[in-house]
Amino acid sequence: MKRFLRNNNNKGKKNRERRRKNLNSLRFRPNMQNKLAFLFTGAMLAFLFLAVVVVITTTQNYDEYAVKVFSNYNYSSTSLTAARGTITDRNGNSLAISEPEYLLIIEAQNINDDKYYQATIAALTKVFGLDRAELESFVVNHPNSQYYRYRESDGQTLMIVPLDKIEEFEAIESAVNVTSARRKLEALSELFGLTTDEVAARFPEYARFAVEGVWFEKRYERVYPYGSLACKVIGYQSGDSAEYSTGIEKYYDLQLTGVDGKSYGYLNDDYNLNNQVVAPVEGNTVVSTIDVQIQSIVEEKIADYMENTGAENVGVVVMNPNNGEIYAMATDTYFDLNDPTAKPDSYTQSEWDSLSAQDKSTALNELYSNYCVSSSFEPGSVFKAFVVAMAYEEGYLNGDENFYCGGYRVVNGWKVRCHNRDGCGVLDIFGALQNSCNVCLMQIADMVGKEDFTTYFNRFGFGKKTGIDLPGEMDTSALVYSDFTTQPDVTLACASFGQGFNVTMVEVCAAFASLVNGGYYYTPHVVKEIQSVDGTIVYTADTTPQYLTISQETCEYMREALFAVVEGGTAQTIKVPGYNIGGKTGSAEMVINGKRAEDEWVCSIVTACPIEDPEVLIYTLIDRGKDPENYSNSMPAQLLSKAIYEEVLPYLNIHSNLDEYDYIVIPETEAPVESSYEEAAITAEVGEVETDPQTGLIIETEPVETDENGEPVSVENPADESSEGESTEPSPEGGESISPEVPEETPAALE
């Protein structure tokens, strides 16, 4: 019984302890539930906050977010080169084109993969004949290379692959990269030159093989179909910058340069990475004013002259005087536009090889220079036509004046000579131009006066750029007297026959065109229009006249005067049967180191045809011609111009009204030989006039003492004393009178 009671007591004690524990557990359970609820609520709020942040980020800052996400992808962006625009002549003949070519690009990083190595190496060596050992060496030694322009065996020349080889490679690539194991095995069998069993035995994992890591980069090569034709006008384009260009290629570089395309990856609306290609846009087509046929004629005639006679420089410009379009522009030097850095013909190979890199660069730059645009010279007697025009325009001449030339004229003590040392005698205005008389033109310039002379000198555009659309036009502003009112009288006298200032060929062309086209000054230009890829005209050259230089009435008078020069004056050699041509010749002894160089002449002729209604203008200049009999006159320039006219006029279907100037009576005389400087045109009792060694402009010095009539107080000269019977009296014209009476005995020119 006691044991029973003791056991029951023990059980009761245990039950009480158990109940106490249960009670305690029940007492703390609500607190735990609260904690769990709190943690759950906090987690939900944090998640909700994060969701809100994500939504805001992806909506308000979508672009930035997309870029950050996209940056985590491994993708590449490839530039697609645009073709450079075409240059054509005025008739659509291509002068410069861009032909596509393809470079072999190797991605060694991909080829190094076991899946791609065998098939890709085999395909490259089979199709392109690459040296396998060299190829494998590059791939293995450049495991991270993703872009390499493969080169020829010299290690320098980029490998250009023809289209048929690309097609052959892509055919192998397509055949090998199929999913069908059987067809892949057959393709690999042909590629490796093994049987299918041999392929399977040698390459157990052939089913994974593929051609990968090879592509072809398209670029464009500049090609000039006519080689060296019009090279100074077209220019060449080399590299990716206009810095290495000349001619139209440089001047219109922005219009010719296309817009490159791009191939790149992007995220679509579902955030999937897709590839996008923006196609390149080809450059515009530049239509030049050059006529291939006329340019060819001019270059051929220059080449004939250089072969038979020779000169330091020859320049020819053929232009439409009614709008400034240049049909042809050429010099005696040329280069192959397809290989502009090749050895010039003027060097032997040994001479060229001996030059330093700098000397070669200098020689090539001289070769690229366009003499017609970038060089200057004294115009000589060509300028006399402009002096007559300004005098007639301002009413100083009415057309019936006569002048006397006794061989020289004294201007403030300077003895300024005519090319005819014996004097030209009495001449009317046409006669003054026909005989290219210095003395007559000095008198006409005196009538015009320094102020009006300055006005017209500038109006004709001398001393300023024409604005021709070619690089390198020379600025002659520092080589002229922009204001003759500040200069001594002898400066005006010399300027009247084209001495003491420099011009360029295009300056003379633009100015002379206005003498014969009605007085309109046009900007010379070599580009007619620019067209976009679809043929839309996006630019048309401005062919409106810039301003008037002279009136229509003066222009008509000048056409008659210039016709007279060709019919019975110094330009008779240029006459072409069946055509009325008008023009003016010029010869100028060069200034070298501040002095007139002995036997160094620039001779020229500028003409228009048909002179009654001009359609074509030709200016031909020969610098230091090698003809021993005609080095100091315009005869060689006339012959060259005539040869060009004889082919260009029929080609342009130009005709003349031969009855237009029947009323002009031209006596049949031997053409006078025009030469502005027989030895030195200007001398004084104290010696030759000084000129600036840099510019060639006359330096004012103290003149000889003169009387009130402008004549020297003493005209005695040691040279005169040695000439028996030679008069020492001043010439009858006295430097003043117009239309003098002819003396019974015309005194000889004083020496």
The pLDDT tens digits for 110-156 are: 999 999 999 999 999 999 999 999 999 999 999 999 899 999 888 88
Mean pLDDT of 547-552: 97
77-91 pLDDT, tens digit each: 777 889 999 999 999
CB atoms within 10 A of CB 669: 11
Question: Rounded CA gap, 80 and 280, in Å?
Answer: 6
Look at residue 594 in the predicted model and tell me its pLDDT. 74
Could you tell me if 368 and 374 are in contact, meaning their C-beta atoms sit under 8 angstroms apart? no
Tell whether the torsion through CA atoms of 514, 519, 523 and 527 is positive or negative: negative
Segment 446-478, tens digit of pLDDT: 999 999 999 999 999 999 999 999 999 999 999
User: In angstroms, rounded to a whole number, what is the distance separating the alpha carbons of residues 91 and 291?
Assistant: 7
pLDDT digits (tens, 9 = 90+) for 570-616: 999 999 999 999 999 999 888 777 777 778 899 999 999 999 999 99
Residue 14: per-residue pLDDT = 55
**Cβ contact 607:618 at 8 Å:** yes
pLDDT of 12 over the 90 cut? no
Q: What is the per-residue pLDDT across 90-106, written as a single tens digit (0 to 9) for each?
A: 999 999 999 999 999 99
Split at pLDDT 50, 70, 90, the class of 628 is confident
Confidence of residue 28 (pLDDT cuts 50, 70, 90): very low
Confidence band, pLDDT 50/70/90 cuts, at residue 52: low
- 591 or 674, which is more confident? 591
In this prediction, residue 660 has a pLDDT band, given cuts at 50, 70 and 90, of confident
Q: What is the mean pLDDT of residues 727-743?
A: 30
What does the pLDDT look like over 480-492, one tens digit per residue?
999 999 999 999 9
pLDDT at residue 329, as a whole number? 98
Write down the pLDDT at residue 10.
53
pLDDT at 711: 41
**Nearest of 620, 411, 587, 600 to residue 499 by alpha carbon:** 587
Structurally, at CATH architecture level, domain 69-99+220-288 sits in Alpha-Beta Complex (3.90)
Predicted confidence (pLDDT) at residue 204 exceeds the cutoff of 80? yes
265 — pLDDT class (breaks 50, 70, 90): low
The pLDDT value recorded for residue 702 is: 47
Does 517 score more than 50 pLDDT?
yes
Mean pLDDT of the chain: 83
Which of 37-51, 213-227, 536-550, 563-577 has the weakest average pLDDT? 37-51
pLDDT value, residue 124: 96
- Residue-wise pLDDT for 676-704, tens only, equals 544 455 554 434 455 554 444 555 444 44
- Report, as an integer, the average pLDDT of 177-189: 93
> Beta strand pairing status for 87-88 and 285-288?
parallel
Q: Where in the chain is the domain with CATH 3.40.710.10?
A: 378-721
The pLDDT assigned to 266 comes to: 63
Q: What tokens appear for 235 in the block?
A: 């220019």
Average pLDDT in the 351-370 region?
A: 93
Do residues 339 and 236 lie in contact, with contact meaning Cβ atoms separated by under 8 Å?
A: no
CATH number of 378-721: 3.40.710.10
Provide the CA 650 distance to its chain's centre, in angstroms: 30
pLDDT of residue 690: 53
430 contacts 557 by C-beta, under 8 angstroms: no
pLDDT for the residue 720: 33
pLDDT tens digit string along 285-323? 999 999 999 999 999 999 999 999 999 999 999 999 999
Q: Is the pLDDT of residue 172 over 70?
A: yes
Torsions phi, psi of 229, nearest 5? -60, 130
Q: What is the mean pLDDT of the segment spanning 624-648? A: 93
Query: What is the structure's pLDDT at 188?
Result: 94
Q: What is the mean pLDDT of residues 354-383?
A: 95
Q: Which residue has the higher pLDDT, 649 or 706?
A: 649
- pLDDT for res 431: 96
- DSSP-derived secondary structure letter, 377: B
Q: Please indicate whether residue 51 or residue 11 has the higher confidence score (pLDDT).
A: 51
Q: Would you state the CATH architecture of domain 290-366? A: 2-Layer Sandwich (3.30)
Alpha carbon distance 270, 50 (integer Å): 21
Cis geometry, peptide bond prior to residue 577 (ω within 30 degrees of 0)? no
What pLDDT shows up at residue 632? 82
Name the 3-class secondary structure at 687. strand
Higher per-residue confidence, 529 vs 37: 529
Whether residue 533 has pLDDT greater than 80? yes
C-alpha triplet 100, 101, 105: angle, nearest 5°: 135
Q: Where in the chain is the domain with CATH 3.90.1310.10?
A: 69-99+220-288
Of 504, 500, 677, 506, the C-alpha closest to 588 is 677
pLDDT score of 80? 83
- The per-residue pLDDT for 701 is 46
**Segment among 40-49, 135-144, 431-440 with least mean pLDDT:** 40-49
722 pLDDT above the threshold of 90: no
Q: How far apart are CA 211 and CA 117, in angstroms?
A: 8
Tokens encoding 480: 């002229």
Asked if the model's pLDDT at residue 67 lies above 70, the reply is no
Residue ranges of the chain that CATH labels 3.30.450.330:
290-366
Contacts for 465 with CB less than 8 Å, ≥ 6 apart: 473, 474, 475
Reference 749, options 405, 477, 276, 469; nearest CA is 405
Pairwise pLDDT comparison (18 vs 350), residue with the higher score: 350
